Structure 1
Amino acid sequence: MSGIVNTGQAEAWNGYEGEHWARHDDRYDAVNGGFNEPVLQAARIADDSDVLDVGCGNGQLTRLAARRAARGKVTGIDLSEPMLHTARERAKAEQLGNLSFERGDAQVHPFADDSYDVALSRFGVMFFADPVAAFANIARALRPGGRIAFVCMTELAGTDLGTVFGAMAPYVPQPTGPDGTGPTSFGDPRKVEAVLGEAGFTGIDCTRVETEQTWGASVEDAGAFIADWGPVRHHLREAGQEAAEKAKAALAGVLATFATPDAVRTRGTAWLVTATTRNQ
């Protein structure tokens, strides 16, 4: 295993946060799986492509990429051993022989030079300790003219998710932190372009994409799931019982506005980012 410089994220993803995602991979895929196809189409994976999935988590996107690159090789890398265990189990069940998973920090992982045609990610690139160094390392692993395609969170303002978290804001802090840090660190496409450009990519494009996200079968179910998500759970515990109960009531109230007869659904937004490495 390579060294890890992003120690704070490694601790979180090998503790409660990673364990929660690993236990509920089907639920997180119901939230984020609608972004799989836009990423895969943008990645332009060929039958013989060698593919790297950065921050692969439980590996749904990785497995889909492996099916497209049937004569190539696909590697998923992530900090979280609990999620990688789930990813390996899912790949084994689907009998995907061209797929492997590695634990490591993509910022410093010793990828072989020029070893992949495509790098992709579904919300796995927003937490690097040094984003420029991380993307430069990924660029080094790509062959000349190699392609990267990923989705990252937009700013929360004006989105359904922003409405949900905004309802709880009088009682607990926003779970994403201010833009520039945390999950929304790439919320500004100008920052994305600057980071990728400095890291050695060219032809950078950021396109806003939307998809339906399913949070639970009912308001109660969706509310319990969101309240157990790591950052929300942390803030609820820190807030004290009275504020936490008010936040949960506000969460239930706002989720009711997104409820349908069979599920609670929001409209998810993301930046779909594509770029290529230089030919020389």
Structure 2
Amino acid sequence: MEDRGTPASKAVFDYDAELSRYQPRLREAFDVRPGDSVLDIGCGAGQTTRESARLATGGSALGVDVSAGMVARARELTAAEGLDNVRFEQADAQVHPFPPERFTLGTSRFGTMFFADPVEAFGNVRRALRPGGRLVQLVWQAGDRQEWVAAIQRALAGRDPAPVPPAAGGPFSLADPAAVEGVLTTAGFTDVSVSDVSEPVYYGADPDSAADAVLALRMASEVLVRLDAQEVERALDRLRAVMAEHSGTDGVWFDSRAWLVTARR
């Protein structure tokens, strides 16, 4: 899924709300047809999987995610909607033994950046696609192009964040278009295309709820765990102030940039 880390609190971050402005762009890019068999990689709570299933009226959709909790939530939401052509599995797409040449379309919404071995992972996904099958995914551009990263890290640390090179298996590991094309080509894909997509991301209805949402992310816990009690309070005050600066009548939003990556088996 599009997880950015282990929660720092008991709160569960709402990625569907965060990425709501990206969803129409993805829906258009997926272009799910009635007979498609869809594999959704890193499906989270299953929003994109269910959308694909509703469009694949004569086909089906499978969502996979490494998080048991997310898969359970996806199943719960799917049962409530009464969809019968969608299912979910707790699985690591890098190594899971998918049926060969089973799917016509592979999709992912910020769920492919966390592979330990991207070439192996995308090779495994490629084998699961039928000849001519498409892969459509969104991945983050570099961290220094994300307003939410800079603003949140600056608020928590009290200073501008130091530049950090994209780490393998991290949220920005596929930020370099040339590297993405190289990985997919090596994995056996063709017709690789990378295009710029920019939409704001949502953090909450008001500054307090937005600050609480941020505290459910690893990017917050990794900073706060190094601070003493007084420094934590000052960091939280700065975080609420930043959320207030980005708050409007429709909630708290930050700019973001992503790559829409398409390829074909």
**Gap regions ≥5 residues in structure 1:** 1-8
**CA displacement 1:228-272 (0-9 Å, x = unmatched):** 223312431232223322322222222222111341112232111
SS of residue paired to 1:126: coil
The aligned residue for residue 165 of structure 1 is: 152
The normalised TM-score by structure 1 is: 0.85
2:145–2:256 CA contact under 8 A, matched in 1: no
Residues 18, 190 of structure 1: alpha-carbon distance in 2 compared, 3 angstrom cutoff:
farther
Residue 25 of structure 2 is matched in structure 1 by 38
Q: d(CA) in 1 for partners of 2:140 and 2:229?
A: 30
Q: For 1:111, what is the secondary structure of its paired residue?
A: coil
Amino acid across the alignment from 1:124:
G
Q: For the Cα contact (< 8 Å) 2:141–2:174, is it kept in 1?
A: yes
- Indicate the residue corresponding to 1:64 in structure 2: 51
Going from structure 1 to structure 2, the CA distance change for 1:69 and 1:95 (only over 3 Å counts) comes to same
Deviations 1:61-85 (A, max 9, x none): 1110111111101000111110000
CA deviation after TM superposition for structure 1 residue 172, in Å: 8.6
1:206 aligns to what?
Answer: 194
Deviations 1:166-189 (A, max 9, x none): 423645996x96313311111111
Structure 1 counterpart of 2:84, from 97, 106, 114: 97
Q: Say if 2:116 is the partner of 1:143.
A: no
Any idea what SS the aligned residue of 2:82 has? coil
Query: Residue 50 of structure 1 corresponds to which residue in structure 2?
Result: 37
Structure ranking higher on relative contact order (CA contacts 8 Å, 6+ apart): 2
After superposition, the C-alpha distances for 1:118-156 in whole angstroms (9 at most, x for unaligned) are 000011101111110000000000001110001111112
Q: CA deviation at 1:19?
A: 7.2
Partner SS for 1:204? strand
Paired residues for 1:1-280 under 5 Å: 16=7, 20-21=11-12, 24=13, 27-168=14-155, 170-171=157-158, 178-181=165-168, 182-277=170-265
Contact 1:172/1:244 (<8 A) preserved: no
Question: Matched residues in 2 for 1:18 and 1:102: separation?
Answer: 26
Structure 2 distance, partners of 1:90, 1:216, is 21
Cα shift at 1:227: 1.8
Query: Matched residues in 2 for 1:78 and 1:250: separation?
Result: 34
The answer as to whether partners of 2:174 and 2:180 remain within 8 angstroms in 1 is yes
Return the letter of the residue paired with 2:207.
Answer: V
Change (3 A) 1:173 1:95: farther
Whether contact under 8 Å (1:30, 1:214) holds in the other structure is yes
Give 1:275's aligned amino acid. Answer: A
Residues 19/185 of structure 1: CA separation in 2 closer, same or farther (3 Å cut): farther
CA change 1:258–1:52 in 2 (3 A) is same
CA distance in 2, matches of 1:186, 1:47: 31
The two structures have a TM-score, normalised by structure 2, of 0.90
4+ residue runs over 6 A deviation: none
Greater helix content: 1
Partner SS for 1:162: helix
Secondary structure at 1:206 match in 2:
strand
User: CA 1:78–1:256 in structure 2 vs 1: closer, same or farther (change >3 Å)?
Assistant: same
Of all paired residues, the percent bearing the same amino acid is 35
Name structure 2 gaps, 5 residues minimum. none
**Deviates most, 46-55 or 268-277:** 268-277
